Amino acid sequence: MADRGAELQANLAAVHERIATACGDAVRDPAEITLVAITKFFPASDIVHLVDLGVRHVGENKDQEAGAKVAELPAEVRELLTVHFVGQLQSNKAAHVARYADVVQSVDRTKIVKALDRGTGTALGEGGRHTPLEVTIQVDLGEGADAGRGGAAPADVPALADAVAATEHLRLRGVMAVAPLGVDEDGTAAAFQRFADLSARLRADHPDATWISAGMSGDLETAVTHGATHLRVGTGILGTRR
């Protein structure tokens, strides 16, 4: 599909334009923002196109799909990429994720922290990876009835962060969240502001935990306004699932 490269190029340019405009409005430097292309549902060949177009961060949300796709990438493509895992994670899958992911953004309970640390230790020992696993804690920004898009309750974040910091092989980099379901733009803005405040409190104890992963195709401008450092954009770049 010769046209797929052109399609991805146009979509990517439009997303970069939106980020630039949002940064202009928020008086922020676009260089502070890392764009993570969420490639779930799309083939490894799309990742190859994206790397050609300068993308260096991709994200996946299902272990089986992600592992197979990363394995399919040519070595010279893989080595240019940082692979983020952003999906809900079961502890029995953690060791496998630790073999191919550079970052796990969706850490939301102690059991996962332990499983990822063990899995990363094993992968390092076997030469399957060479760096610590970078992690962010996923925070549930839903209030009351609409909670449940995954993530730890805000009150549980400090203890979880301490648990990550105490591991041998994991490196705490910050926090991740998805906007709550069923709220309007003001509700999303309020949630992202609470999230930025939570991040500031976390950094008082963990100064390296600087990443604020918030914002997807539909709300990336709001996320930029409220301090996001990482945007996870799927449909805006890849298009809708076919």
Instruction: Indicate the length of the chain as a whole number.
Output: 242
Contact positions toward ligand PLP, by CB under 6 A? Answer: 38, 40, 61, 86-87, 178, 216-218, 232-236
Residue 217, number of CB atoms within 10 A of its CB: 17
**By three-state DSSP, how is residue 170 classified?**
strand
Q: How far is the CB of 40 from ligand PLP (least distance, A)?
A: 6
Please identify, using beta-carbon distances, which residue of 19 and 178 lies nearer to ligand PLP.
178
Residue 25 near residue 225 (C-beta atoms within 8 A): yes
Q: Which residues of 42-76 are buried (b: 16+ CB within 10 A; e: fewer)?
A: bebebbebbbeeebebbbbbebeebbebbeebeee
Q: Which is nearer to ligand PLP, 91 or 217 (CB)?
A: 217
Closest contact distance (angstroms) between CB of 122 and ligand PLP is 26
Residue nearest ligand PLP, Cβ-based: 234
**Closest distance to ligand PLP from the beta carbon of 233 (Å):** 5
State the minimum distance, in angstroms, from the CB of residue 19 to ligand PLP: 13
Closer to ligand PLP by Cβ: residue 153 or 166 = 153
Provide the minimum distance between the beta carbon of 149 and ligand PLP in the complex, in angstroms, as a whole number: 8
The residues, ordered by sequence, that sit 6+ positions from 128 with a Cβ below 8 Å of its Cβ are 99
Tokens at 71, concatenated: 């394995």
Q: Which is nearer to ligand PLP, 51 or 233 (CB)?
A: 233
Nearer to ligand PLP among residue 93 and residue 232 (C-beta): 232
- Residue 151 identity: G
